[in-house]
Amino acid sequence: MTTWSYIPTDGRCQRPAAQLHWNVMDRETRLKRLKFRSWHRGTREADLMIGGYFEAHSATWSDADMDWFETFLEEQDVDIMAWAMGVQPAPAQFDHPVLHAMRKMDFVPVSR
């Protein structure tokens, strides 16, 4: 049974936080969510870079890698692209093997 709580400031109902957190998702659902977020960034360039990387590498990720990528996707596209292309140094919290693999750009299709 789901319990509901009321927020006293405006009276709206809210689900308990634990039921909204990604930890309650199974691996398949979580990967589907990350796939959608990777391919719907806002610009075609970001979609190809981030979504393409996700498609090429996500099958081998551990739960810790998915945790990292989830946090990574919260950043702005211009920052992610700059870090991935090496234009700007990535902050320490994003210096991770997943970003290092993204820098190889071996997943971006190139027309000849």
Q: In whole angstroms, what is the distance from residue 81 CA to residue 94 CA?
A: 13
Sign of torsion, CA 51 52 55 59?
A: negative
Tokens of 81: 């692209």
29-112 is classed CATH 1.10.150.250: yes
- Domain range list for the chain: 29-112
- Bridge partners (DSSP) listed for residue 13: 6
Q: What is the pTM of this model?
A: 0.72
pLDDT in tens, 72-91: 999 999 999 999 999 999 99
Question: Between residues 7 and 58, which one has the greater pLDDT?
Answer: 58
